[in-house]
Each structure stands twice: as structure tokens, then as C-alpha cells.
């Protein structure tokens, strides 16, 4: 194993250990109230045991890029906070998007609804599942902040790291709202503005939060000056945008066996991504009419999904997004090479960047 | 105006000013993303502009009881955090309980659903309202913590105040889960254990969070030793339990014009409160059968509500709860008189305690 791979594996091990022990402590605390509460903790633990740890790794390499020491517990703790925040976002996102699966397993609210059915409880399993999912997500969001504060002095009130953390949370929630707003209000709004609106959503809902903020958080915890944070963003923001565009493509064209989500999931959910915006601009009248009549409808069929995919291909919408992914990847890569950071961190970020953009799931 | 009334009015004014300016700063921040995000902030601002400020006032008088100075900005900031936390809890609670109104106005998710209908947006207004409500609640929960951290050193990592804040959040969410679990699983569970389960819910979902924790938080911020926190809890925990039992009674027997909620709301929502537990224990077979067949059903009628009310009266369930409220009020009052705190704080807590238990809304 290379020095980089060893260091990264050590970090991931430490992260997983700390995540487990954090959740164990919380489980002990709430089990004192009632054993019945344990499923909330279990569902959080199951959810966060999966995932690629991309945000935690970006925080770690941001920390190292800014001169932080290998194996620092502050970086591990920040990674725990980010993974828990991501967990909270996913739990609520899956309720909002009515996603029954996540990482190849039942999503949190779905698992609660399933349990309701198995136990033959009263009233409505869907309502119970949603309610339990909302509460589990709230708990996970609180835990995330608890873990973040536990970094200690580097994340105390008034620090750059805390400012980034606060901004990250508000921006993600704002971006998610813009996403669902566009689902319902988008059809009435201008076609010419659709791409700009989709870009705003992808930037705030995902790009900044998936790459820019985690990297900056880690760097800020290591004491990075503002200038370095700005330079890091020149690498991480286009990377995050490329990452989300790749996600958008996978959301329509991805293989369910690899993504762990149903085929064409984004079309069923009615997501108005850049792909959709480009189809509205570039498609024939017929293609656009098909899109507008089927997108997000409960009654959307596999055939509809296949037809919209075909339209995305034929209209050039997919090619336009792919070319944007390539351009963003190139810009990100070029910025990375310019960064005044240790070579080990640069190489790690290079690898993370590649896997974020080229992934299949 | 008495010295107490003046001091309390000054605090509430400072609290309202700081709450407004906190939310204005957040509105500026998210409006930089898109003007479309403003409704999230507006709905939080509208929600938190109402309310009795009970938690903030308890924190303030806890702070003063422990020797904190009148008019301290730390107490104001803690009050802001508590009011925002309460706002977040209410937003998600109203989604969970499908409550269309809150404080006499449309609840947050309902207001978003209404806007969807008015604007003639696509897809489902209820889904949009719920999704927007989930995100607004998440944002409010994050704001709450941001405000809490902004107290500074007294709420830094490792302080007693932060430990209380963390415990408060986890306990409320656990208590809320137990509440919805009892709604669905309660009918299958033992009648003999129902009262104990209802007590656990009311303690963790409400009592600790409505009175014990806010009072302790304020005191801890002023540097109260553990002993004083324990003594304060002897006053505040029974008070909180009485407060929630009063809420339970109002939830079934309250006047909609005063409570701002539909008549018999808790029965429609299927809440298995201590009132319900007592009816299961004390009621005739017929009364219990009526309860079990109607509680929480979408098809529950005004006549059903009236019949269950009658059963609660006739069975002695209501009287049993009222006598428990009286006993808790007495215990709380006695503990208050023993507290080693300044007389001004004692008088303020006495008044807060009375209004919490004797209220009509």
C-alpha cells in the first residue's frame, strides 16, 4: 500500500470507530428513556455505516492541505459531523422524494413503514414511517452539530470553521427548497431561465455542500488563511458541480444494480435538473410535451422513462451535460495543480476528484 | 409596573428584537442564493413572532436565579435559541400530526400547500407543503443551534449548558417518537402499562423540554453549580408535567377560539395521553370500545369526539388527570418556596408556574 493509501485507510478506520462510538453513546443515553427508542439510533447507524465517505475525506485532505497533522482527532471528529449531516440530509431527502431505497437498502422512513406493517400496528404505515423518519432525521441533524462542536476550540463560536458549517447547513436547505420549488413551479417559469435555475439548485443543494464546504471546513480547522480557502474553492466548486451533474446523469441513466436506486428515479421524482432544462431548450416540441406531461407524475411508466431517455440522447441534452462535466473536471483539475499544498494532499484530492466525476453509483 | 414586570418586559423586548435581527441576517444570507428562498425565512419569522415565550422566560429567570445580571445579552441569546428550537419542533410536529393550524394561523406546511394551490403549481400541493415544511423545520433547527453557540463561552463545548442543550434535543425527539409509536402500537400493548408509557412520553416529549431544561440552561449559563440545578428541577419537572397534562386536557376539552386548534384535536390525531390511558383503565367496556374504534381515525366525527369527551368525564379519567395536575402543581410550588434563590426570581417563577398550569390555551 502507498503512503497515501495507508494514511487514508487509517483515517477511514478512525472515522468509522469514532462514528460507532458516538452513536453507541447516544444509544445508551436514549435507551435510558425507553428501549423503544433504540430503532432510531439503529437506523442512523445502519445508514451512516454505508457511503463513500467523500465529504469526510475531503475534510481530512483539506485539513492536511492546510498543514494539519496526519491522524489528528480533530479531523476525525469533523468527518463524523459531516457524515452525520449527510445522513440527516439523506433521511429527510428520501421522505421528500418518496425514495423507498437508499444505498441498496430500504430508506429510513420506508424501514419504519415496513416495521409498522410487519408488527400489524394500527393506523397508517406510510404516515408512521414518514413521522419516524422526520424525527430520526432531526436527531441525526442534532447529532451532527454535537459532533461538530466536539472538535473543540477550532470550531468554537466565531471561528471560520463554524461560519462555514452554518453556511453549509443553510445553503443545503435553501438549495433543497429551490429544487422542490422548481419541480412544482418550473413548468410555469421561463424555459430560457430553466438552466440558470437548475445551476443554482445544483450549486447550493449539492456542489458546495458535497465538496467546497467539507474541504474548506477541514482546512479552516487546520487554521488555513482566507486566501487558501479561496484557492481551494477554485478546485472544489467545479468538482462539486461536475459531481452533481454526474449524479443527475446517473439519476436518469444509471444502472439500478449499481446505484441502489430504481431506474430513471429522478424522472419519477420530477427533478428539474440541468438535463431537463437542456431538453426543454433543445428538444422538439413533441419531446418537450412528452417530458412536461410525464415528469414527476405518479403514473409515469417504464416506457415513459425510456422515451424521455431517448429524447435526452437525441436532443443533445445528455451530450451537453457530459461536455459540461468534462469542462468542469478540467477546470477543477487545472486549479488543483496550481494549489500551494503538499504533494500528498494534492494526489489524494486528485484521486477523490476522479472518483467523484467518473463514478457509476 | 412592578420591578418584576418591568424587567420581564425589557427581556421580552430584547428577545423579540434579537430574534428579528437574527432572522433578518439569515434572510439576507439566503436571499443571496435566490429571492425564492425568502418564504422559508418569512414562515419561521411569522411562527416565532407568536407564542408565550415561556421557555425563554424560564431560561431568563433561571439565569437570574443563579446570580446572572439583569438584562444580560447571554440570556437573551439563549432565549432566541430556545424559541427557535421550539419553532423547529412545532413545524415538524404539525406535519407529523397533520395539524393545519398553529397559533390560530395556517401551520407552516399548510401555508406552503396553500400557496401551491393559489399559484396553481404542478404536482401535489400536500406533498409540496410537507416537503417545504420539513426543510423549513430543518433550517429552524440549525438556526437554533447557531443562536445557542452564539452565546459564546458559557455554551462552548464541554460546558454544562451545552450538555443540557444536547440532552434536551435528543430527549424531545425520542419523546416524540415514543408518542407516535404509542399511537400505532399502543392498542396492542398492555392496558396496565399504558399510564406509565403516557407518563414517559409527557416527561420526555414535553415536561423536561418545556420547563426543566430551559430553566437549567439559563442557570447553567450563569454558572449554577450542579446542586442548584438539581434543586431547580424539583420545581420545574413537576411544573412541566402539570403543564403538559393541562395541554392534554385542552387538546380534548379546549375551546378552539382560545387554543387556535380544532376541537378535540388530540383525539383526531390519535394521541394516547394519560387521559386516554386512564379511560382504558377506568372506562366501561363500551366506552373503551368506542375509544379504540375512533381514536386517530380519519373518519372520526364531531359526535365521536363528543362521546369520547363524555366517557372521559363519566369514567373519572378527566378527574384523575385534574387531580394529578393539582398534586404536581402543589409539589412544584412547595419546591419553589424552598429554593435558595433571590426573591424576585422566585416571584417570577411563581407567576410563570401559575400561568403554565391554569392556562386556557
> Tens digit of pLDDT for each residue in B298-347?
899 999 999 999 999 999 999 999 999 999 999 999 999 999 999 999 99
On whether residue B226 sits in a domain, the answer given is yes
Chain A residues inside the 8 Å CB shell of B269? none
Instruction: Classify residue B70 by its DSSP letter.
Output: T
Q: Are residues B195 and B107 part of one domain?
A: no
pLDDT of A357 strictly over 90: no
Please report whether residue B356 resides in a domain.
Answer: no
Whether B256 has a pLDDT exceeding 90, the answer reads no
How many angstroms separate the CA atoms of A359 and A249, rounded? 11
> Is there a single domain that holds both residue B233 and residue B131?
no
CA distance A317 to A296: 19
pLDDT of residue A258: 81
**DSSP state string for B246-279:** HHHHHHHH--HHHHSS-TTHHHHHT---HHHHHH
pLDDT at B261 over 80: no
Contact flag B173-A138 (C-beta cutoff 8 Å): yes
In a domain, A326, yes or no: yes
Q: Which of A151, A172, A196 is the last residue of a domain?
A: A151
**pLDDT tier, B260 (very low <50, low <70, confident <90, very high otherwise):** confident
B205 by DSSP, 3-state: which? helix
Place of cell 443533445: A316
Number of domains comprising chain B: 2
Q: Are residues B217 and B346 in the same domain?
A: yes
Q: Binning pLDDT at 50, 70 and 90, where does residue A50 land?
A: confident
pTM of the model: 0.96
**Are both B215 and B145 inside the same structural domain?**
no
pLDDT, mean over chain B? 95
Whether A49 and A64 map to the same domain: the answer is yes
Contacts A30 to B, Cβ<8 Å: 170-171, 174
Distance from CA of A341 to the nearest CA of B (A): 30
Q: Residue B332, Cα to own-chain centre: how many angstroms?
A: 19
A257: helix, coil or strand? helix
Which of these three, A151, A186, A215, is where a domain ends? A151
Same domain, A144 and A9: yes
B181: Cβ contacts below 8 Å, ≥ 6 apart: A36, A132
Write down the ipTM of this complex.
0.96
User: Looking up cell 415513459, which residue turns up?
Assistant: A304
Cβ pair A209, A244 in contact under 8 A: no
| Residue B163: inside a domain | no
Task: Please say which residue of A151, A184, A219 terminates a domain.
Answer: A151
Question: CATH code at B188?
Answer: 1.10.600.10
The mean predicted confidence, pLDDT, of chain A is: 95
Q: To the nearest whole angstrom, how far is the Cα of B130 from the nearest Cα of chain A? A: 8
Closest Cβ opposite residue B184 in set A123, A152, A186? A123
Q: What is the mean pLDDT of residues B95-123?
A: 94
Question: Is residue A361, in this structure, part of any structural domain at all?
Answer: no
DSSP 8-state secondary structure symbol assigned to residue A361: -
Q: Do residue B259 and residue B223 come from a single domain?
A: yes
Q: Is the pLDDT of residue B361 over 80?
A: no
**How many Å lie between the alpha carbon of A143 and the closest alpha carbon of chain B?**
8
Give residue A360's pLDDT: 74
A202 with A239: CB under 8 angstroms? Answer: no
Q: A237: Cβ–Cβ under 8 A, 6 or more apart, which residues?
A: A203, A207, A208, A211, A212
Looking at the structure, do residues B247 and B304 belong to the same domain, yes or no?
Answer: yes
Statement to judge: residues B286 and B232 lie in one domain:
yes
User: Averaged over A125-142, what is the pLDDT?
Assistant: 98
Considering the domain architecture, whether residues B56 and B194 belong to the same structural domain is answered as no
- State the average pLDDT over residues B251-262: 84
Q: Which of B151, B166, B187 sits opposite A146 (nearest CB)?
A: B166
The CA distance from A277 to the nearest CA of chain B, in Å, is 16
pLDDT band at A262 (very low <50, low <70, confident <90, very high): confident
Residue B91: closest C-alpha in chain A? A134
Query: Residue A45 is part of which domain span?
Result: 1-151
Q: Give the nearest partner residue to A180 out of B98, B128, B158, using CB atoms.
A: B128
pLDDT surpassing 80 at residue B360: no
Cross-chain residue pair B122–A96, CB shorter than 8 Å: no
Task: Residue count of chain B, please give it.
Answer: 361
Predicted pLDDT of residue B262:
78
What's the confidence (pLDDT) of residue A318? 97
Q: What is the pLDDT of residue A358?
A: 82
B28 neighbourhood in chain A, CB within 8 Å: none
3-state secondary structure of A106: strand
B146, B173, B190, B300: best to mutate for the A interface, most A CBs within 10 A: B173
pLDDT tens for B85-104 read: 999 999 999 999 999 998 88
Q: Tell me if A145 and B142 make a contact (CB, 8 A cut-off).
A: yes
Phi then psi for residue A62, to 5 deg, are: -65, -40
**Confidence bin at B293 (pLDDT 50/70/90):** very high
Chain B residues touching residue A149 (CB < 8 angstroms):
149, 156-157, 162
Contacts of A296 in chain B (CB under 8 A): 122-123
Residue in chain A nearest B140 by alpha carbon: A170
> Can you say how many angstroms the Cα of residue B311 is from the centroid of all Cα atoms in its chain?
27
- Which among A131, A204, A297 has CB closest to B96? A131
Which of A134, A163, A207, A293 is the best mutation test for B, with the most CBs of B within 10 A? Answer: A134
Whether A85 and A144 share a structural domain? yes
Amino acid at each position: 500500500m502507498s503512503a497515501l493509501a495507508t494514511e487514508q485507510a487509517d483515517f477511514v478506520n478512525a472515522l468509522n470507530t469514532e462514528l460507532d462510538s458516538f452513536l453507541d453513546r447516544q444509544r445508551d443515553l436514549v435507551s435510558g428513556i425507553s428501549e423503544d427508542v433504540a430503532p432510531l439510533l439503529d437506523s442512523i447507524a445502519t445508514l451512516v455505516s454505508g457511503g463513500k465517505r467523500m465529504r469526510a475525506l475531503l475534510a481530512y485532505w483539506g485539513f492536511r492541505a492546510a498543514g494539519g497533522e496526519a491522524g489528528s482527532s480533530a479531523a476525525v471528529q469533523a468527518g463524523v459531523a459531516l457524515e452525520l449531516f449527510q445522513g440527516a440530509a439523506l433521511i429527510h431527502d428520501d421522505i421528500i422524494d418518496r425514495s423507498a431505497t437508499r444505498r441498496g437498502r430500504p430508506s429510513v422512513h420506508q424501514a419504519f413503514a415496513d416495521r409498522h406493517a410487519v408488527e400489524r400496528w394500527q393506523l397508517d404505515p406510510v404516515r408512521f414511517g414518514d413521522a419516524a423518519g422526520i424525527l430520526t432525521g432531526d436527531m441525526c441533524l442534532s447529532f451532527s452539530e454535537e459532533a461538530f462542536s466536539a472538535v473543540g476550540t477550532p470550531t468554537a463560536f466565531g471561528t471560520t470553521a463554524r461560519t462555514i458549517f452554518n453556511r453549509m447547513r443553510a445553503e443545503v436547505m435553501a438549495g433543497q427548497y429551490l429544487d422542490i420549488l422548481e419541480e412544482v413551479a418550473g413548468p410555469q417559469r421561463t424555459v430560457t431561465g430553466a438552466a440558470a435555475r437548475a445551476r443554482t439548485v445544483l450549486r447550493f443543494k449539492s456542489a458546495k455542500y458535497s465538496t467546497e464546504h467539507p474541504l474548506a471546513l477541514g482546512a479552516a480547522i487546520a487554521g488555513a488563511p482566507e486566501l487558501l480557502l479561496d484557492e481551494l474553492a477554485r478546485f472544489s466548486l467545479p468538482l462539486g458541480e461536475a459531481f452533481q451533474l454526474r449524479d443527475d446523469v446517473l439519476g436518469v441513466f444509471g444502472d439500478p444494480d449499481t446505484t441502489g436506486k430504481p431506474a430513471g428515479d429522478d424522472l419519477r421524482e420530477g427533478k428539474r435538473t440541468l438535463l431537463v432544462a437542456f431538453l426543454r431548450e433543445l428538444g422538439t416540441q413533441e419531446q418537450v410535451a412528452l417530458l412536461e406531461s410525464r415528469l414527476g407524475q405518479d403514473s409515469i411508466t417504464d416506457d415513459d422513462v425510456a422515451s424521455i431517455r431517448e429524447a435526452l440522447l437525441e436532443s443533445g441534452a445528455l451530450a451537453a451535460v457530459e461536455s459540461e462535466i468534462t469542462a468542469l473536471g478540467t477546470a477543477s483539475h487545472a486549479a488543483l495543480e496550481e494549489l500551494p499544498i503538499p504533494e500528498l494532499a494534492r494526489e489524494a484530492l486528485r484521486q477523490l476528484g476522479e472518483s467523484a466525476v467518473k463514478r457509476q453509483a
